[in-house]
Chain A
Amino acid sequence: MSNFLAGIQFPDITAIIPEVIALIIGCLILLIDPFIPKQKKRLNGYIALFGFVVLFFVTLSYLGKSIVTFFDMFSVDNFSTSMKLFFFVANFVVVLISLRYLEMEDSNLGEYYALLMFATVGMMVMVSSKDLIMFYIGLETMAIPLYVLAGFIRMNERSAESALKYLLMGVFVSGIFLYGIALTYGATGSTKLVDIVRFTYINGVNPILFVAIILIACGLGLEIAMVPFHFWAPDVYEGAPTSVTAFISVVPKVAAIAALLRVYFEGFTFFAPYWQTVLWLLSALTMIIGNVTAVVQDNVKRMLAYSSVAHAGYMLMGILSFNELGVSSLVYYFFAYSFMNIGAFALVIYLRRKNIVGDRLEDFRGLAQKDPIAALVMVVFLLSLAGVPPTVGFVGKFLIFSAALKAGFYWLLVIAVVTSVISLYYYFKIARSMYLEEPVADEPLLQPLSVKIAIFLLAILTVVFGVYPTPIMNLADLSAKVFFGY
């Protein structure tokens, strides 16, 4: 009893420095926000922007390091590091498009950025964890700020409704996830991925774990917005503030997919044929339902919601390929998807003006005449989402498809290609509205500078990395080595 702590190794604190910095920035914003006068609330946003830049460079120095600490629960490896870098890039852009938007919605509160930071901490924990409990707590730390952010617009019933829907679904699904963890623990006696692998290696396959694997996929499936759990997506995406929609549709989705990848690759390695079949089905359904339903949507936010469901299906293909190319193409796809999807939502924000949300198809009517550059940029994003060269979307899809081809999933590939062709139709619908229809006379565009910067930044990234994908490819290859390097 007395030397109870003797056998316990002191954890390597350096591994969690980025998480601690993010937490401190979040707390800082919370504490100084009450002292900032109402006209200068933008300062919070600038702190967050600065914070993400600092975090990016701090995390960049971890590239190449490999630390497993906190009793095999927390791992800093190239995969988690590149995921964190991804979060900071995406969040930087999300903050950029939020700055002006929140003022327009009269909800410019410092808590927005603080909650964004806390969600980021949750996601960073999620991608680094090697323990199911850790995953769960990371997931919840990510999810709770998201529920609040979805209902962030003051006194807006749609926003409140979307937050409530999101919360109810989220709580229900997190129960399922916990149940999966409990079954895993019951079957293997541990929640650590290392122990789960060891147990299954020694004792063979356990039928309880089959159920657990499905339940864990379901639990993460809400954030991924894959098919049995995609119902919330259109409603929440439509009702939530557009900047939050841009965030929810990209960053938590990627975090959940990355977490799922790690659980399956490192924890349930010996169940690969089984979960490949499960994911095959889910991925196929997600692609078909997402793309087909998107065709009949008139609201751009809803259409993009279904399109993001479909993209989740493509990303699942990266997991189920279960090869090195699959992981690296997935990491590339994450970056590609964030550029084009946040870009498309940023254009909806760009169209936001007095009494107009900017998410109806009519709002895009004749944009080519009103603002030719914005229309052109939107076309770039749409082409990229559809997977047309020379954009990041094309490279990403190409890589993912070749990974699936390498793994021998021919039928899934056929489904993916056919649904991609379907997707061209509804992306083209927006483009047609912008170029072939006459503009409606209404409120002039506000053209806020920060949104403009974000949109051009994203457009440039979309094209440049589409033509010259090497930098991201290198990062992606490094991350793939984590799982297949030996």
Chain B
Amino acid sequence: MSYTEIFFYIFAVLSILFALLTVTRRNAVHAAICLLLTFFFIACNYVLLEAEFLAAVQVLVYAGGVVGLMLYVIMLVRKDEADEVRQSLGQRVIAVFIAILFVLEIAFISLLAYYGNYSGFLSSKMAQIGGNTESIGAVLYTYFLLPFEVVSVLLLAALVGAVVLAKNRIER
């Protein structure tokens, strides 16, 4: 086993462990912290796959921003109110079904990648440009120029929306 593989298994086991803890913890704050660790270990695996940009996004946006937002919302909701809400909505069966579906799908795609010649195609192309982040930059700011600029409109609209919804409720 190479070093990469050893680290992969360590990170994979840890991320699954914390993902399990996220869904089983009763305390919402603990669950959010576990989610943060899950995101972090997934980011570690991205690094091992040489997807540094994805790892950076994972840590910055998901571990940093989204979990922060979740923690804030948990603190916003009053605990006594939250405790009255029914904890289980009977979605276990559906959840298990969807989980099985996803496992099957990943297995199917892995098989395709194993028997087909899909693997290794992108990495060699990327290496010519210099790496993962560089190749994203090379494509995003040239061929995907227009979507990139429209994203800024999207973010602007989201910003305005956030201010409108929150301010409307503060002013009264």
Q: Identify the A interface with B (CB < 8 A).
A: 4-5, 8, 11, 16, 23, 27, 30, 70-71, 73-74, 107, 109, 111, 114-115, 118-119, 121-122, 125, 131, 133-134, 137-138, 140-141, 144-145, 147-148, 151-152, 154-155, 163, 186
Contact = CB atoms under 8 A, between A and B. Distances in A.
Contacts, number: 84
B6 interface: no
Given A30-B160, A119-B157, 20 more contacts: A5-B142, A8-B143, A111-B163, A118-B160, A121-B150, A122-B153, A133-B144, A133-B147, A134-B146, A134-B150, A141-B153, A141-B157, A144-B161, A148-B157, A148-B161, A152-B168, A154-B168, A155-B168, A155-B169, A163-B165
Interface string B147-170: 100110110111011011100110
The residue in A122, A134, A141 that gathers the most chain B C-beta atoms within 10 A of its C-beta is A141
A115 B165 CA distance: 12
B172 interface: yes
A169 to B, nearest CB: 16
B107 interface: no
A121 B142 CA distance: 21
Nearest to A138: B150
28 contacts: A5-B142, A11-B146, A23-B153, A30-B160, A71-B142, A73-B143, A73-B144, A109-B168, A111-B160, A111-B164, A115-B164, A118-B153, A118-B156, A118-B157, A122-B153, A134-B150, A137-B147, A137-B151, A137-B154, A138-B150, A141-B153, A144-B157, A144-B158, A148-B161, A148-B164, A152-B164, A154-B172, A155-B169
Contacts of A111: 160, 163-164
Contact of A121 (B138, B147, B153, B161): B153
A194 B164 CA distance: 40
A246 B64 CA distance: 39
A8 B142 contact: yes
A70 B150 contact: no
| List of 7 A-B pairs having minimum Cβ-Cβ separation, nearest first | A148-B161, A118-B157, A70-B146, A141-B154, A71-B143, A111-B164, A154-B168
Nearest to B171: A154
Contact of B147 (A5, A115, A118, A134): A134
Contacts of A70: 145-146
Contacts of A137: 147, 150-151, 154
Nearest to B146: A70
Nearest to B144: A133
Interface of B: 109, 138, 142-147, 150-151, 153-154, 156-158, 160-161, 163-165, 168-169, 171-172
Contact of B164 (A73, A74, A109, A133): A109
Given A70-B145, A155-B169, A155-B172, A114 B160 contact: yes
B57 to A, nearest CB: 15
Contacts of A74: 146
A111 B160 CA distance: 7
Nearest to B162: A148
B138 A73 contact: no
Given A30-B160, A70-B145, A144 B154 contact: yes
B145 A11 contact: yes
Contacts of B138: 4
A70 B146 CA distance: 7
Contacts of B145: 11, 70-71
Contacts of A16: 146
A23 B154 CA distance: 11
Given A4-B138, A148-B165, A155-B168, A73 B157 contact: no
B150 A125 contact: yes
Nearest to A74: B146
A178 B161 CA distance: 23
Contacts of B143: 8, 71, 73
A92 B168 CA distance: 26
B161 A115 contact: yes
A163 B161 CA distance: 11
B172 to A, nearest CB: 5
Contacts of B172: 154-155
Contacts of A4: 138
A140 B154 CA distance: 7
B165 A151 contact: yes
Contacts of B156: 27, 118
A73 B109 CA distance: 28
A144 B151 CA distance: 12
Nearest to B154: A141
Contacts of A23: 153
Contacts of A71: 142-143, 145
B81 to A, nearest CB: 16
Contacts of A27: 156
A144 B158 CA distance: 6
A115 B160 contact: yes
Nearest to B158: A144
B61 to A, nearest CB: 15
B142 to A, nearest CB: 5
A167 to B, nearest CB: 10
A4 B128 CA distance: 12
A133 B139 CA distance: 13
A16 B154 CA distance: 16
A23 B163 CA distance: 19
Given A109-B164, A152-B164, A154-B172, A145 B157 contact: yes
Interface core residue of B153, B156, B160, B163 (most chain A CB under 10 Å):
B153
A38 to B, nearest CB: 12
B52 to A, nearest CB: 19
